[in-house]
């Protein structure tokens, strides 16, 4: 059975091309949509800890936790959605 570790972004703040949004928020929204599809297809998955942008949460600590979880569970692959950033020159819808 395929297994996937879903790892959202752990940045303090990384603006996206879509005005007023950020990478962490987009990552979590993508993963919210993806999870039911993985479950419906019988793909085993685990989602890494969620971080609120601009929160006092320790992004480094959350990332290390995600790496330990992913390594410890021997997942087939790890997925981190990457929306276009403002620095890339991409524009939103």
pLDDT in tens, 29-57: 889 999 999 999 998 888 887 776 667 77
Q: Which two tokens stand for residue 33?
A: 């949509």
Q: Are 47 and 31 in contact (CB under 8 A)?
A: yes
Rounded mean pLDDT, 69-78: 66
């Amino acid at each position: 059975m395929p297994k996937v570790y879903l790892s959202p972004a752990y940045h303090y703040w990384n603006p996206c091309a879509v005005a007023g949004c950020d990478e962490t928020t987009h990552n979590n929204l993508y993963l919210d949509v993806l999870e039911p599809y993985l479950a419906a297809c019988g793909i085993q998955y685990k989602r890494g800890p969620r971080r609120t942008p601009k929160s006092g949460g320790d992004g480094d600590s959350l990332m290390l936790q995600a790496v330990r979880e992913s390594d410890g569970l021997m997942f087939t692959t790890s997925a981190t959605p990457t929306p276009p950033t403002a620095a890339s020159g991409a524009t939103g819808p």
